[in-house]
Each structure stands twice: as C-alpha cells, then as structure tokens.
Amino acid sequence: MNDPLLSLNVSVDYPGKTGVLRNVTLDVHAGEIVGLVGQSGSGKSTLAMTILRLVELNGGRARGSIRFHGRDLMTLDQRELRGIRGKEIGLVLQSPMSALNPALKIGTQLKEAWRCQGGDSGTWKQRVMELLESVSLPPEEAFLRKYSRQLSVGLAQRVLIAMAILHRPLLLLADEPTSALDVITQAEILDLFARLSRELKMAVLFISHDLLSVARLCQRVAILHAGEIVEVAATNQIFEAPRHPYTQRLVGALPPPLGTSPGLVLSF
C-alpha cells in the first residue's frame, strides 16, 4: 500500500486540563474514508483542530508529528499553514447556521473563500456554479444572492461542503456534519460525501458519535475514548467482532440488527 496521505501521532494539553489527547496515532490514505468515533468529550473535535494546527490559537499545546502529503505540519509556521487550510485540507463543521456569516450573501462567502487561497477573481463564478451543481444546489444567481437565514439547515450544510471542497482538497475533515440534520437529509449528505470522495479522489476523516452513519459511509473506523485511540479496524470488523471493551459497549448499545449478535453479517 502507498504511504498514507495523513499520518499523525499527537498529544494535546490545554491550560488546566492535561491529556486531552494522548499519543493518538492514526493514518488516512488518499481517497479513503475513515470514521473517527467517540462519545462527547472524547477529543474528536480537538483532533480535527489539531490537524489544522488551530488548537494553539485557543491556548492548547500540541506535541508530536502530523505528516500530511510529505510534510510535517508541526514544523510549519502560521503563514505556511494558511496556504494549506482550506486549500489542501477542507473542514466541514456541524452547525452550518453558526459557521456561515448571516450578514453576507452566500455568493459573497463563496467568492471570499475562493479568493483567500489565490483563486482568480475572474474565474470564481464558473467554479462556484459547477460546485453548486455537484452538491445538488441550484447553480443560479438567485441562489448566490440568498442569505444563510433563508436556507434550510440541509441546504446550508451543502453550502458549507461546497465551500470546503472549493479548491479540491486532498483531505476533508467532516466534524459531526450530520448531527443537526433529519434522517433523510443525513442519508443524502452521507451519499454526497461518498460520491465526492470517489470523484475527487479525496480522503475524508468523518468525525461522529453516530455509529449508523459511520457504518454506512466509512471503510475503516478508529475508536477514540478518553483521549486515546483504543481500536482501529475495517468497518465490518468493528461491527461484527469489536475487540476493545469500549468498542464492544458502543456496538452493543445499537438496536438489532446492527448491534453485536451471533452470526451477524453486515454489507457495506
């Protein structure tokens, strides 16, 4: 197998709270969708912010290595990191209504995201229209003139995804992107992630506490518990034969037929 696109081994402390992440080791290969699962407070979002080197801006201290596309992000300065965030590594947050600026039109926000990474201001409209269509949004001027408050949560989440993949990143960090959505919209967004990963050859780190979404989308799953990765395995193995006691508890809490049971066979 080729070298991983992302390979990390990190620990993170915050003032007054040490060991938020402890020797977390994880690899993600190009085009692969990996699930990161854990309960609230386990450190999932902290890991995403650590990969982007943003924990330091909130007073955190990260140690270790984050090798991405042949570079150790831990050795880069903020100017170099700004050239990677949003361009080579995209981020989708869980609350689109908070992430989008309510005072700016959708088109303005997409244009700024395009220009901040050096995109040609003369070509942004064509790129954005193509992108809107690819995420099942109307590629129309009227839509670009809307504000986020005029959109449903599902449509706003698609705008965030469009913004995150504007520059065709190699890696997309999706941090609880379906937690605020209804079941039908969740399924549509999961299918969208799978299609975009396949079409763009984009790796996805799908961060969630929702095992059912992870089972539907991911090829491998990493289980994060109390700041440590306790198990990493293929999705089938996690659901059919979990090894760590914490993973067994998670899977066992699922309702049948997805909960662990004799003779269980899952198809992915």
Of 153, 198, 195, 205, which is closest to residue 26 (Cα–Cα)? Answer: 205
Angle at 43 between CA 39 and CA 49, to 5 degrees: 130
Looking at residue 262, its pLDDT comes to 36
Determine contact, residues 221/44, Cβ cutoff 8 Å. Answer: no
What pLDDT, in 10s, does the model give residues 97-115?
A: 888 999 999 999 999 888 8
Looking at residue 146, its pLDDT comes to 97
For 38, how many CA atoms within 13 A lie in the half-sphere containing its CB?
Answer: 23
Give Cβ neighbours of residue 183 (< 8 Å, ≥ 6 apart). Answer: none
Question: Residue 89: is its pLDDT beyond 80?
Answer: yes
What pLDDT, in 10s, does the model give residues 223-268?
A: 999 999 999 999 999 999 999 999 999 999 887 765 444 333 343 3
pTM of the full structure: 0.92
